[in-house]
């Protein structure tokens, strides 16, 4: 892909505005629950600091309505400062011209602008808003793969106004995901889960075209099971996607891809009991929360034969501990297979495994959720196109 990264040019003694994706999950006490997205930006920041650049970072956090101050990036600023062992100053009213002298006084500290989505101009891709960001720096570095699918000011607006380059994280996401899709070692086993198929239809087709086996779990699998005539009770599923699900099943059959759905499930009964059921035993009043033990075994055995493994979307309602076994089984099978190249992405998927042992055995943990899906679907993203020379 013909984008220039900070590896291809010498950026030194400049003021560099870096778009990062610090949209991390915060606990009630404002503790950072999963720091992957912060850690993954360190290589870019360190290279730029080494070459005596002044760094101004910008990111969004959540979707703050009415300037919701609880979504300040202050906890991230403090966390980053410890992680990189360098002072980090959070600037809230950077958009106010009176704050500008502060930027000049901060010679060595990293500046982090507070949540970009505090200003409506960010999501509206307002030109004046993009200009007020661009005016802060000489050079723009895009390192927020996770937000490159959004047509926002800090994604597609700023590159029109400043010389722009990809950071090392963005470069590595593009190269790794492209490579796995274009030159996969076979067999490729793709595992998809999460709530809906409606947001992943194109991805399902793309993965069928590139995989030998497709394993489906989560709420998404319920839509397929229902389309096949199985009872899914009160479970999460998309009735209106039944026809699409049948088309996808047909496409897999035509392509001779082994599309495997759960053969048993864990349900919650009307009496709130958690039970294992065969598909034929699911009743109207039940809720499917996870794949069952026979499915876990089936999925694990297929994963263990893969040379390339792609996983996006949890296997069940993993926010409840009683429905985590399916997800854990898939995770263990992936990290247990040390011969395969594994790509795992999606915000919920990463959050569901972040604190587990052996996460480092996953070959590539993508920082993208929606961005990873759209990149697989389309081979590029608006934010990547924006920084092409
Ligand atoms: C993500 O978490 O996927 C990115 O940070 C993008 O966030 P968004 O879905 O709120 O635009």
For every residue of 63-127, DSSP letters joined together read --GGG-GGG-SHHHHHHHHHHHTS-EEEES-TTSGGGHHHHHH-SSSEEEE--GGGSHHHHTT-H
Q: By C-alpha distance, which of 239, 203, 167 is closest to 387?
A: 167
pLDDT tens for 182-240 read 999 999 999 999 999 999 999 999 999 999 999 999 999 999 999 999 999 999 999 99
Whether 96 shows a pLDDT value over 90: the answer reads no
Distance (angstroms) between ligand 1 centre and the Cα of 282 equals 35
pLDDT of residue 106: 66
Tell which atom from ligand 1 comes closest to the C-alpha of 23: 5
Alpha-carbon distance 98 to 102, whole Å?
Answer: 8
pLDDT of residue 23: 95
pLDDT band, very low/low/confident/very high, at 29 (cuts 50, 70, 90): confident
Tell which atom from ligand 1 comes closest to the C-alpha of 370: 3
144 three-state secondary structure: coil
Distance (angstroms) between ligand 1 centre and the Cα of 328 equals 25
Dihedrals phi, psi of 341, to nearest 5 degrees: -95, 125
Round the average pLDDT of the chain to a whole number and report it.
Answer: 94
In a mutational test of the pocket of ligand 1, which residue from 313, 348, 369 has the highest number of ligand atoms less than 8 Å from its CB? 369
Tell me, using a 6 A CB cutoff, whether residue 21 lines ligand 1. Answer: yes
* Encoded tokens for 205: 């087709």
Hey, how many other C-beta atoms are within 10 angstroms of the C-beta on 254? Answer: 9
**Ramachandran bin of 120, using left for φ above 0, alpha for ψ from -120 to 50, beta for the remaining angles:** alpha
Tell me, using a 6 A CB cutoff, whether residue 268 lines ligand 1. Answer: no
* Residue labelled with tokens 């034969």: 305
pLDDT of residue 243: 97
Tell which atom from ligand 1 comes closest to the C-alpha of 152: 11
With a pLDDT cut of 70, the percent of the chain lying above it is: 98
7 three-state secondary structure: coil
Tell me, using a 6 A CB cutoff, whether residue 347 lines ligand 1. Answer: yes
Tell me, using a 6 A CB cutoff, whether residue 63 lines ligand 1. Answer: yes
Alpha-carbon distance 352 to 350, whole Å?
Answer: 5
CB 312 within 8 A of CB 192: yes
Whether 105 shows a pLDDT value over 70: the answer reads no
Full set of structural domains in the chain with CATH: 15-169 (3.40.50.1260), 176-377 (3.40.50.1260)
CB 2 within 8 A of CB 389: yes
Tell me, using a 6 A CB cutoff, whether residue 146 lines ligand 1. Answer: yes
Alpha-carbon distance 122 to 125, whole Å?
Answer: 5
pLDDT tens for 271-294 read 999 999 999 999 999 999 999 999
Distance (angstroms) between ligand 1 centre and the Cα of 297 equals 33
Lowest mean pLDDT among 116-125, 207-216, 347-356: 347-356
Whether 177 shows a pLDDT value over 80: the answer reads yes
pLDDT of residue 64: 92
Distance (angstroms) between ligand 1 centre and the Cα of 384 equals 16
Q: By C-alpha distance, which of 287, 302, 197, 189 is closest to 241?
A: 197
pLDDT of residue 103: 73
Whether 1 shows a pLDDT value over 80: the answer reads no
Tell me, using a 6 A CB cutoff, whether residue 147 lines ligand 1. Answer: yes
Tell me, using a 6 A CB cutoff, whether residue 369 lines ligand 1. Answer: yes
Residues with active-site annotation = 37, 196, 347, 370
Closest residue to atom 3 of ligand 1, CA basis: 369
Paired strand residues for 18: 57, 141
Whether 331 shows a pLDDT value over 80: the answer reads yes
pLDDT of residue 347: 85
* Range 137-143 average pLDDT: 97
Paired strand residues for 74: none
Tell which atom from ligand 1 comes closest to the C-alpha of 21: 5
pLDDT of residue 136: 94
Angle between the 201-210 and 370-378 helix axes, to the nearest 10 degrees?
60
Tell which atom from ligand 1 comes closest to the C-alpha of 60: 5
Distance (angstroms) between ligand 1 centre and the Cα of 62 equals 7
pLDDT tens for 236-255 read 999 999 999 999 999 999 99
Tell me, using a 6 A CB cutoff, whether residue 149 lines ligand 1. Answer: no
In a mutational test of the pocket of ligand 1, which residue from 65, 71, 147 has the highest number of ligand atoms less than 8 Å from its CB? 147
Whether 317 shows a pLDDT value over 90: the answer reads yes
Distance (angstroms) between ligand 1 centre and the Cα of 178 equals 21
Tell me, using a 6 A CB cutoff, whether residue 346 lines ligand 1. Answer: no
Distance (angstroms) between ligand 1 centre and the Cα of 124 equals 15
Whether 156 shows a pLDDT value over 90: the answer reads yes
Q: What is the pTM of this model?
A: 0.90
pLDDT band, very low/low/confident/very high, at 28 (cuts 50, 70, 90): confident
- From residue 161, alpha-carbon distances to 88, 136, 241 in Å are 26, 11, 42
Whether 268 shows a pLDDT value over 90: the answer reads yes
Q: In the β-sheet with 274-278, what is the strand arrangement from edge to edge?
A: 274-278, 264-268, 287-291
Whether 79 shows a pLDDT value over 90: the answer reads yes
pLDDT of residue 122: 97
Distance (angstroms) between ligand 1 centre and the Cα of 24 equals 9
pLDDT band, very low/low/confident/very high, at 307 (cuts 50, 70, 90): very high
Lowest mean pLDDT among 100-114, 306-320, 330-344: 100-114
Whether 102 shows a pLDDT value over 80: the answer reads no
Whether 66 shows a pLDDT value over 90: the answer reads no
pLDDT of residue 207: 95
Tell me, using a 6 A CB cutoff, whether residue 312 lines ligand 1. Answer: no
Tell which atom from ligand 1 comes closest to the C-alpha of 63: 10
Dihedrals phi, psi of 238, to nearest 5 degrees: -110, 100
């Amino acid at each position: 892909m013909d984008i220039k990264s900070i590896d291809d040019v010498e950026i030194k003694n400049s003021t560099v505005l870096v778009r990062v994706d610090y949209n991390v999950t915060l606990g009630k006490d404002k503790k950072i629950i999963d720091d992957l997205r912060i850690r993954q930006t360190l290589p870019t920041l360190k290279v730029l600091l080494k070459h005596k650049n002044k760094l101004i970072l910008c990111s969004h956090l959540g979707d703050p309505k009415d300037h919701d101050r609880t979504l300040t990036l202050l906890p991230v600023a403090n966390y980053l400062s410890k992680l990189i062992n360098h002072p980090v100053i959070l600037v809230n009213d950077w958009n106010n011209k009176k704050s500008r002298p502060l930027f000049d006084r901060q010679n060595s500290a990293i500046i982090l602008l507070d949540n970009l989505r505090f200003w409506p101009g960010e999501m509206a891709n307002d030109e004046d808003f993009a200009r007020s960001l661009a005016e802060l720096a000489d050079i723009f570095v895009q390192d927020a793969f996770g937000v490159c699918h959004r047509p926002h000011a800090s994604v597609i607006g700023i590159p029109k106004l400043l010389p722009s380059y990809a950071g090392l994280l963005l470069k590595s996401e593009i190269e790794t995901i492209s490579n796995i899709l274009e030159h996969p070692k076979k067999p490729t086993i793709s595992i998809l889960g999460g709530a809906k198929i409606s947001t992943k239809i194109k991805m399902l087709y793309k993965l069928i075209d590139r995989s030998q086996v497709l394993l489906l779990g989560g709420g998404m699998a319920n839509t397929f099971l229902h389309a096949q005539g199985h009872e899914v009770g009160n479970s999460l599923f998309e009735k209106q996607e039944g026809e699409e699900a049948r088309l996808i099943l047909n496409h897999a059959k035509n392509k001779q891809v082994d599309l495997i759905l759960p053969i048993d499930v864990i349900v919650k009964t009307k009496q709130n009991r958690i039970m294992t059921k065969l598909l034929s035993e699911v009743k109207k009043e039940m809720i499917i929360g996870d794949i069952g033990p026979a499915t876990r075994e089936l999925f694990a055995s297929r994963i263990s034969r893969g040379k390339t493994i792609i996983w996006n979307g949890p296997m069940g309602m993993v926010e409840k501990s009683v429905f985590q076994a399916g997800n854990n089984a898939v995770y263990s099978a992936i990290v247990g297979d040390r011969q395969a190249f594994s790509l795992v992405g999606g915000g919920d998927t990463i959050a569901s495994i972040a604190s587990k042992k052996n996460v480092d055995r996953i070959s590539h943990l993508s920082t993208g959720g929606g961005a990873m899906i759209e990149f697989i679907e389309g081979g590029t993203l608006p934010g990547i196109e924006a920084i092409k020379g």
